[in-house]
Amino acid sequence: MSVLTSGDDDLPDSGQVEAKVAAPKVKRRRIKTKVVKSVEDEIANFYKLKGQYDLKYNTIKLRIIHGDGSLSEKKQEFKDIKVKCVNCKRNVGTRFTTNDRHLRAICGDINNPCKLNIDIKLGTSELFSSLERQLSHDLNIAKMRIIKIKLKLLFDLVTEEQMEEAFIEIKKSYKSLVIGNNVVQKELMEHQLVSPKEVMPSSLSIAVSEDGPKVPRRTLAAANENALAGYISNFKGLIKEYEMDDSADTKLSKMREAIDIYLDNIIPTLDIIRNTLFKINTVVKHKKQYHLIQIKVPLNEEVLNTENPEIISNKK
């Protein structure tokens, strides 16, 4: 997305109007943020095949390096290295390339290749925070240009006919930016939503439907914080009653009830709050001391896929 500049030299001068404001290319379609599972699998499989192939190649290469023979002989051996094709298993090698955001793999036999033909086009992505800053800047510049065009007309520096062409062009640019900004804000709002099942402990999530409505993370956390306060209050009340009770039977009953609240309510609710608000929540031991590491979910630092990956060919 091109960034508009605020210079005056491309605003309409007296007697001449230049309408050269290029509207940024903002696609009106809904930008998908989830990558199709099969594409993810094929990307992982590509790197798995390439990793296995490179390991075999480098193993042979190291054997040559540490073996006997002159430097010229070793150079020739390097040229003659042949690893089996990952598909047809002939000693013709496999040609892996990762250029132009494409992952490609074909048989190493130029004259009589097997049907191996993997071509995966990688997607592109940007941070929400980066897109927001860029769009906000461009919108402000577009508004400033519209105001300056109107002022030139107001002070009779240009005629209505001269102003119209530039105004129509900048208006198109502004509308395009507004559409792009709406798309980003909508996607950011969706990223702030979470399914309760996603953050629940496995012991509780079994009974929750996956098709349930999503809610804002902070709303879900606040609701569980309120519930947690109630559980803790009940727990403390039972402990206090336990300490004041003189009957062994009722003391045991109250202690069991307190333990049940702790295990069945307090711990699961704490887990939900942590999973909702924190991306990383762990304890690290360093020099005989334990440190709590908590990193919150950075909603504005989430990545928006502006172009999804695509399988061009997957012949094996």
Domain boundaries, the chain: 1-191, 196-298
Contact 106, 286 (CB under 8 A): no
The Cα 14–Cα 281 span in angstroms is 63
pLDDT on residue 25: 43
Tell me, what's the pLDDT at 297?
66
The pTM for the full model equals 0.46
Encode pLDDT of 232-284 as tens digits: 999 999 999 999 888 888 889 999 999 999 999 999 999 888 888 887 778 88
Q: According to the model, what pLDDT value does residue 37 have?
A: 55
Distance, CA of 94 to CA of 74 (rounded, Å): 22
Residue pair 17/37 in contact by the 8 Å Cβ criterion: no
pLDDT below 50 — which residues of the chain? 1-36
Model pLDDT for residues 191-212, shown as the tens digit of each residue: 778 887 777 776 666 556 666 7
Extended strands (E) in the chain: 94-97, 102-107, 117-121, 124-127, 193-194, 215-216, 278-286, 289-296, 303-307, 310-315
- Using alpha carbons only, what angle is made at residue 275 by residues 274 and 281, rounded to the nearest 5 degrees? 60
What pLDDT is attached to residue 198? 76
Residue 161 class from Cβ within 10 Å (0-12 exposed, 13-18 middle, 19+ buried)? exposed
Residue 208 pLDDT: 62
- In order of 12, 203, 215, 271, the CA distances from 264 in angstroms are 70, 10, 23, 11
* pLDDT tens column, 131-141: 778 888 888 89
